Amino acid sequence: MNSARTPWTPGPTQLLLIKLLLIALCLLPLARLFGDLGPNPPEFVSRHTGTWTFNLLLLTLSVSPLRAWTGAHWLLRLRRSLGLLTFAYALLHFASFALFDHELAIQAIATDIVDRPFIAVGFAALLLMLPLALTSSNRAIALLGGRRWQELHRSIYLIGILAAIHYLWLAKITTYFYPLTYTLLLVLLLAWRVGARLKKASAPAPGFRGGSQPIKFFREKPDR
Amino acid sequence: MLIKNNDPAAPCPSEITGKDLYQGRRRFLRQAGALGGALWLGQAEANPAPAQLPPFKPGQPLPDEPLTSLDTLTSYGNFYEFGPNKDSPGRNAHTLKTRPWSVEVDGEVLKPRRFDLDELLRLAPLEERIYRLRCVEGWSAVVPWIGFPLAELIRRVQPTGNARYLEFWSLADPVQMPFVQYPTLDWPYREALRLDEAMHPLAILAVGLYGQVLPKPNGAPVRLVVPWKYGFKSGKSIVRIRFLEQQPRTSWMKAAPDEYGFYANVNPAVSHPRWSQAKERRLGEFFRRPTLPFNGYAAQVASLYAGMDLHRNY
């Protein structure tokens, strides 16, 4: 941010290519689902889609810090794709649960969401993602207004926290390593935001140094 | 040229090769192959371990429930001494040294002693037992174990009048088992049974699987199998059996007392605090099937718990 050199910025065509490449890369893990799924295929599908939801969520939350550190403001232009991909994986994750655990029986799905707290938390996160996905367009930003849109999209922090609870809650003492690692990464990404906000708050308000006065451009009021 | 034998006195083919043997022909070939392989490997390896079990009595298959494949059984499971994931034991358990091996039996017994593995293999006639295995996590399998009733061992050490519980200690060697150095569970892994549960004819010490020596990911060289309880009750790679007067606290009871009780009988009516136990997923299948009370062994074992509140004694 403070570096004098402005970092490389892609042109419109380059940006489009980068975006397409990024989307293709993020969809690549889906190819794994067409390979050998091991002895417990439903569990594999569920874990794989769940893990990639979290990976993409963390990646989405990394855009702002990366942008601040590198000064590469164009990174922001990739965030919408990452967020929508996160939502797509979350939907697949839920679909695998609905299909393999309950054979798509609505009643059974609803009961399970109520009965198992870690599923309720995961489901809450999914529901909260829905308005964000629906407002992921320039039109929605214009319609809501930038400030309100931004306030709405801050719920991604809550979604992240719910995702971490969901992951931790389904683990047991012998399997805490991955959920704890993901939680730590999330905490770091959220802490950076708190830090950035505090820094902004403590920075002196723009004013005039040493009691100097604004320059008067006109000695007299101009004629009307 | 077709030779037709219409002699009514000629024996029917099924009289020459019995139905059991005919239907088990693939297994017969596999065992023969394993024996051949073992003999060949025996030449190549310095390890004097015989890869072949003493002869055993074939088991009774479960009607309509096919066996889970050997490949699945050795590549999927929980053996936390070798890592946290389902595929960890399959990847990491090769470092386990199963010979020499002995099981120390002590505590409230008149004849405390140490059993060498070769002695255990010949302690009692070996038999195949085809059992359902139900993990507390909600997956299940059908496993052709080979072993002998635990009661055979108990009989030989003569429990004292005070003996009411048996505690099973698994090996906890950080050199062979890389994950024992992490303070996840209270190592060594300890599980326990009431004496009458341990004496039940369905409870066995297993030394083999699929006609072969027990594979390392499955708890070689000797493990407990209690088919009516959740899998975690059946300790692997047993090195010590202690007879006790008081009910001991097991490793899982210490880790999460509200989730893992002493009894841990398979019970579709009693939920785990975080999930229902009403259904299970058989390994290799996509959809879930209902879980049976006592894992389908209620007729044999329910009387052990007569008058007990199974919701409180989970």
Q: Find the CATH number of the domain harbouring B200.
A: 3.90.420.10
Return the structure tokens found at B281.
């997923």
pLDDT of the residue at B198? 98
* B80 in reach of chain A (CB within 8 A): yes
Return the structure tokens found at A128.
């909260």
Q: How many structural domains does chain B have?
A: 1
Per cent of chain A over pLDDT 90 is: 83
Assigned domain for B28 exists: no
- pLDDT per residue of chain A (224 residues) written in tens, 0 to 9: 444 567 899 999 999 999 999 999 999 999 999 999 999 999 999 999 999 999 999 999 999 999 999 999 999 999 999 999 999 999 999 999 999 999 999 999 999 999 889 999 999 999 999 999 999 999 999 999 999 999 999 999 999 999 999 999 999 888 999 999 999 999 999 999 999 999 988 887 766 666 566 666 666 666 65
Nearest CA-CA distance, residue A200 and chain B, Å? 42
Assigned domain for B245 exists: yes
H-run or E-run covering B103: strand B102-107
* A51 in reach of chain B (CB within 8 A): no
Assigned domain for B78 exists: yes
Q: CB A39 to CB B281 under 8 A?
A: no
pLDDT of the residue at A204? 72
Assigned domain for B147 exists: yes
Per cent of chain A over pLDDT 70 is: 89
pLDDT of the residue at B83? 95
Q: Which segments of chain B have a pLDDT < 70?
A: 1-51
Assigned domain for B226 exists: yes
Assigned domain for B153 exists: yes
Q: CB A40 to CB B281 under 8 A?
A: yes
pLDDT of the residue at B117? 97
Question: Tokens 């015989």 identify what position?
Answer: B50
CA B262 and chain centroid, separation: 18
H-run or E-run covering B209: strand B204-209
User: Is the complex ipTM higher than 0.95?
Assistant: no
CB half-sphere exposure, A121, CA atoms < 13 A: 16
Asked if B98 and B49 count as a contact pair (C-beta separation under 8 A), the reply is yes
| Enclosing domain of residue B292 | 53-305
Asked if A146 and B56 count as a contact pair (C-beta separation under 8 A), the reply is no
Helix (H, G, I), strand (E, B) or coil at B126: strand
Assess whether the previous peptide bond of A214 is cis (omega < 30° from 0): no
* B286 in reach of chain A (CB within 8 A): yes
Q: CB B276 to CB A115 under 8 A?
A: yes
Over residues B277-291, the pLDDT tens digits come to: 999 999 999 999 999
Residues 6+ apart with CB under 8 A from A106: none
pLDDT of the residue at A202? 85
